[in-house]
Structure 1
Amino acid sequence: MLGRACPELDCELIFEAREWRAAYLVIKRCPPPPVPPRLGEMVEWVAGLGGYLGRKHDGPPGPKAMWIGLQRLREFVIALEARDALAGTYV
């Protein structure tokens, strides 16, 4: 709900840096920038991971898409942490 009401906020108010960086890597397929994205953008990314298509006529993402997206995001964070542990670095 905060992402709808205040989409311009910094996403690090809600998400950890490793979460938004993992989402950026998976969705954009390039290294994340040093500045975190806006909260509204991060909510769209999480909803997209949960199956939300975001078409013009679609309403805002619902709880099911957000729940699935958050579960998938957590899996990506765990995978990246494991990768970085093997490489000796950290996201």
Structure 2
Amino acid sequence: MLNCIAIYMIIGWRLHSLTTRARRLPDTPCTSVYSEKEWRMIWVMRDKITPSNEPRSIREITRMLAGLGGFLARKGDGEPGVKTVWQGYTKLLQYIEAAEALNKLK
């Protein structure tokens, strides 16, 4: 049980860190916290187009990630919370795993 709690604490810290950095340092390039594979997959799954070579800001990619988790990004919604970022990140990991499996089939 303690091992499980330790792993969840690490994951929780990362998600909280992503959310906080997106709020405090919105113009920072997303490559400071997301791997290239992560931010490109977020872009593809959200916009259904090939991402540009230039990474977007951490705020924009985090909002896209939260959008995968149900964040609607309406005018009065404010910034996404840890819960929608967590739900989006869970989907992101599944998308990455599916893409890697698909590449092995080719």
Q: TM-score range by the shorter chain?
A: 0.7 to 0.9
Name the TM-score, length of structure 2 as normaliser: 0.76
The answer to which of 43-52 and 53-62 deviates more is 53-62
**1:27 to partner: Cα distance:** 1.1
CA deviation after TM superposition for structure 1 residue 37, in Å: 1.3
**What secondary structure is seen at the aligned counterpart in 2 of 1:66?**
helix
Runs of 4+ residues over 3 Å off in structure 1: none
Identity %: 33
Q: Which residue, out of 9, 13, 23, partners 1:4?
A: 23
RMSD of equivalent CA atoms: 1.1
TM-score by length of structure 1 reads: 0.88
Q: Report the number of matched residues.
A: 87
Tell me the CA shift for residue 12 of structure 1: 1.0
Partner of residue 77 from structure 1, selected from 96, 101, 104: 96
- Structure showing greater radius of gyration is 2
User: Separation in 1 of the partners of 2:55 and 2:89?
Assistant: 18
More helix by share: 2
